[in-house]
Homo-oligomer: A and B are copies of this chain.
Amino acid sequence: MENFNFYSPTEFVFGKDRENECGALVKKYGGAKVLVHFGGGSAVKSGLIGRVLASLDAAGVPHVELGGVHPNPIDTKVYEGIELCRKEGVDFILAVGGGSSIDSAKAIAMGVPYEGDFWDFYSGKAPAAALPVATVLTIAAAGSEGSGDSVITKVDGMLKRGAGSDLIRPRFSVLNPALTCTLPAYQTACGVTDIMAHVFERYFTNTTEVEITDRLCEAVLMTMVKEAPRVIADPNNYEARANIMWAGMVAHNNVCGVGRGQDWNSHAIEHELSAKYDCAHGAGLAVIMPSWMEYVVDHNPMRFAQMASRVFGCAMNFENPKATALAGIKAFRSFLKSIGMPINFAELGAKEEDIPEMVQKLNPGDGWGFQPLKAADVTKIYQIAAKARL
Contacts and interface: CB of A to CB of B under 8 A. Distances in A.
A243 B209 contact: yes
A212 B255 contact: no
Nearest to A8: B8
B2 A6 contact: no
A220 interface: yes
A215 B210 contact: no
Contact of A258 (B9, B14, B226): B14
A177 B258 CA distance: 14
A318 interface: no
Contacts of A4: 12, 14-15
A5 B1 CA distance: 30
Interface string A218-239: 1110110011000000000001
Copies held by the complex: 2
A7 interface: yes
Name the interface size band of chain A.
Answer: 35 or more
Given A7-B11, A11-B6, A242-B1, A250 B219 contact: no
20 contacts: A1-B15, A1-B239, A1-B243, A3-B14, A3-B16, A3-B18, A4-B15, A7-B10, A8-B9, A15-B259, A210-B243, A211-B243, A212-B219, A212-B227, A215-B219, A216-B219, A216-B250, A219-B219, A246-B258, A246-B259
Given A3-B16, A246-B259, 15 more contacts: A1-B14, A1-B177, A1-B243, A3-B18, A6-B11, A14-B259, A208-B239, A210-B243, A211-B223, A211-B227, A212-B227, A212-B250, A215-B223, A218-B219, A242-B259
